[in-house]
Amino acid sequence: MSDLRELYQDVILEHSKAPRNYRQLATANHKAEGYNPLCGDHFTLYLDLEGDSIHDISFQGSGCAISKASASMMTQSVKGKTREEAGKLFEQFHKLVTGQASGNQADLGKLAVFSGVSQFPVRVKCATLAWHTLQAAMEGKQEPESRVTPSTRQEKRYEVSSIWP
């Protein structure tokens, strides 16, 4: 039962019930959808990228507690970071949830609470869905004209295509 308590910690449960940055983003210039057909997690991620940094970020959608909490905490962690920093965080997060963490988790901060996921391989895709979706959103191409426009520029979609990592 302690493994379970590791996975469904208060912080995670709290974020799943009251997710942060849970709204549409009027100033979004990037958008991506993430979908896990295995259990029906479905999120839309909105990004306001200014130059190279994530000025604002939000998400909407539904899914299991792990995926929602992960999305919520992810948006908190990457706001204000550069694309590169966000990418590095994803790498560390991925290592954490797949049990490959090396020990230096200082950068992950609160995200370290997801370490319990490594005991539940079936749920790894739930924890990483938001991050994959973020990557898809960041890779969305910019159009030549002004970058600061309220309208959504580029839609991309990430879909979990296989069960086993």
Partner 1 sequence: MTAVANRIPRELRSPRVRGAGFDVEKVRHDFPILREKVRGRTLVYLDNAATSQKPQVVIDAISRHYERGNANIHRGVHFLSEHATEEHEAARGTVQSFLNAEEASEIIFVRGATEAINLVAQTYGRTQVGPGDEVLITAMEHHSNIVPWQILCEQKGGRLRVIPINESGELLLEEFQKLLNTRTKIVAVTQVSNALGTINPVQRIIEMAHRENIPVLVDGAQAVPHLKVDVQALDCDFYVFSGHKLYGPTGIGVLYGKSALLDAMPPYQGGGDMISSVTFEKTIYNKLPYKFEAGTPHVAGAIGLGAAIDYVNGLGMDNVAAYEHEVLTYATEAVAAIPGIRLIGTAREKAGVLSFLLGSIHPHDIGTILDQEGIAIRAGHHCAQPIMQRFGIAATVRASFGLYNTKEEVDALVNGIQNVREVFA
Is residue 22 near partner 1 by the rule CB under 8 A?
no
For residue 138, CA distances in Å to 66, 83, 119, 153 come to 22, 7, 30, 12
Query: Based on CB atoms, which residue is closest to partner 1, 65 or 112?
Result: 65
Of 21-29, 64-72, 73-81, 128-136: span binding partner 1 (CB under 8 A): 64-72
User: Residue 99, by phi and psi: left (phi above 0), alpha (psi -120 to 50) or beta?
Assistant: left
The closest alpha carbon to 41, from 134, 144, 159, belongs to 159
Of 24-32, 71-79, 94-102, 115-123: span binding partner 1 (CB under 8 A): 115-123
Distance CA 68, CA 165 (A): 20
Distance CA 115, CA 28 (A): 31
Is residue 8 near partner 1 by the rule CB under 8 A?
yes
Number of residues that bind partner 1 (CB under 8 A): 20
Is residue 63 near partner 1 by the rule CB under 8 A?
yes
Distance CA 165, CA 163 (A): 7
The correct pick among 23, 38, 110, 155 for binding partner 1 (CB under 8 A) is 38
Is residue 62 near partner 1 by the rule CB under 8 A?
yes
Of 35-43, 47-55, 80-88, 135-143: span binding partner 1 (CB under 8 A): 35-43
Pairing of strands 41-50, 53-62: antiparallel
> Which residues form the interface with partner 1 (CB under 8 A)?
1, 3-4, 7-8, 13, 38-42, 62-66, 120, 122-123, 126
